[in-house]
Chain A
Amino acid sequence: MLKKLLPFVEHVIKKPVWDCRMCGQCVLHSTGMTCPMTCPKTLRNGPCGGVRENGNCEVIPDMQCVWLKAYDRKVFLPLPTVWKDHFNELRPPVDMRLQGSSSWINLVTKRDQQTPAGWSTTDGAH
């Protein structure tokens, strides 16, 4: 029941504020409260090289680059220091199986921290 209800509640809350795409492994806290899945290239580790001179997106010229927004918010918003520290960590590839599920449940069950067996990083991130 909860498994069915929570994705709905989460989407209703997160969609209007963050334009949540329900990837099921939320990283908002570490990306300046800006959803990287709204980047047309769904980049989770920083901006592509195509950001325009005015700061807008290569793909959608009248939208500000998601990563420019994320970086500005990281710098200027009064977010917890640990969240800011996580900004530069290497976020793992998205687990496509979690698409549409509730990241809140996945956070509690730690399902969102599972990475492929071969995945490792050199920066201390999981």
Chain B
Amino acid sequence: MSLMREKLENTNEVVFTAEFPSLDGGGMAKVVKNAARLAPWFVGVNATDNPAAHAHASNTASAIAMKMHGIEPIMQIVCRDKNRLAIQADMMGAALHGIENISLLTGDDVTAGDEPETRRVFDIDSTQAINIARIITTGKYLSGRKIDPAPDFYISAVENPSAPPFDYRIERALKKYRAGAKYLQLQICYHPERLEKFCAGVAKIAPDLKLIPTIVLVKNAKPMSFMHDKVPGIDIPQDTIKRVSSASDQAEEAYKLTVELAKHAMTLPSVRGLHVTDFRHDDSLDRFMYDLGQKPRN
């Protein structure tokens, strides 16, 4: 059984997830190095699928490499680059290697990447992809062709609690749950009140759906301004950016802000863990986890 499933379904433990850095050469040495850094803290780590529309080592290959080095992958599949045949092939390829956590995403548009001239696929959407993953666990492909034995996926998805239309995001979470998602990793959200409303709404209409909000470790206000200006779907209040940019010790103020946001998120209904994005790449990750009351996993 996947550890993500075990922890989320059978315990009340807070589950931390992270993202594995994209792999662009450097062979397994790079995998080993990152695995050593992430293993003490994270139950599952995302194996991304051409994030921000940039080509990297593939989702499946990365997930296999992570698994080989003791990290439980959450294998993402985005709808931008592959049609329904290729997406089902990804799922079955994952199953072949014993990868059970599958996360289905729409995917950033090709215009976000470094090859914006690329053809977009979007043959199916993320909710349809979730449903297809669920169908595969019942022992058949979309065509109805049998799969025996059926793979045992623990299916998840993502949602943005902080992008319009806000009310509809809650209904969409329910839709993803009905399609087969057991938990949602949430997009970065610097509006605590929006996150509150989203979690409360989800807890009400889909009480079994578990939520994992994202928290970002940054060193100063620069990456915050970048996210606010350049990443569609992320909005950071000017006051929040100013709080960090005007501090005498930006690194410390940014750290404090992150801990506040994390502690707040952990009190919200249906929240079962946190997804930690580390843009600092210093020793703050360990400090952060200790400050949240965590101990390294053995």
- Our verdict on whether A and B bind, yes or no, reads yes
Q: How many A-B contacts if CB must be within 8 Å?
A: 124
Asked whether, in the complex, the Cβ of A118 is within 8 Å of the Cβ of B143, the reply is yes
Beyond A43-B125, A67-B165, whether A90 also contacts B106 by CB under 8 A is no
Beyond A59-B111, A90-B175, whether A53 also contacts B164 by CB under 8 A is yes
Asked whether, in the complex, the Cβ of B179 is within 8 Å of the Cβ of A51, the reply is no
Give the chain B neighbours of A59 by CB distance below 8 A.
109, 111
Within the complex, which residue of A44, A49, A88, A93 is in contact with B159, where a contact is CB–CB below 8 Å? Answer: A49
Asked whether, in the complex, the Cβ of B163 is within 8 Å of the Cβ of A41, the reply is no
Per the bound structure, the CA–CA distance linking A50 and B113 in Å amounts to 14
Asked whether, in the complex, the Cβ of B124 is within 8 Å of the Cβ of A50, the reply is no
CB-based closest 9 A-B pairs: A117-B144, A49-B160, A58-B232, A45-B127, A118-B144, A50-B232, A53-B235, A48-B106, A50-B233
Within the complex, which residue of A44, A61, A72, A118 is in contact with B141, where a contact is CB–CB below 8 Å? Answer: A118
* Chain A contact patch, size range: 35 or more
Cβ of A81 under 8 Å from chain B? no
* Chain B contact patch, size range: 35 or more
Cβ of B249 under 8 Å from chain A? no
Can you give 18 contacting A-B residue pairs, CB < 8 Å? A41-B122, A44-B128, A46-B127, A46-B172, A47-B168, A51-B233, A53-B163, A65-B164, A68-B164, A71-B167, A88-B171, A88-B174, A93-B84, A93-B124, A118-B141, A120-B138, A121-B131, A121-B179
Chain A residues packing against B (C-beta within 8 Å): 40-53, 55, 58-59, 61, 65, 67-68, 71-72, 88, 90-94, 96, 116-123
Asked whether, in the complex, the Cβ of B122 is within 8 Å of the Cβ of A42, the reply is yes
B-side binding surface: helix, strand, loop or mixed?
loop
Within the complex, which residue of A40, A49, A61, A122 is in contact with B233, where a contact is CB–CB below 8 Å? Answer: A49
Within the complex, which residue of B109, B125, B128 is in contact with A58, where a contact is CB–CB below 8 Å? Answer: B109
Within the complex, which residue of B106, B145, B160, B174 is in contact with A43, where a contact is CB–CB below 8 Å? Answer: B106
Per the bound structure, the CA–CA distance linking A52 and B235 in Å amounts to 8
Per the bound structure, the CA–CA distance linking A79 and B141 in Å amounts to 36
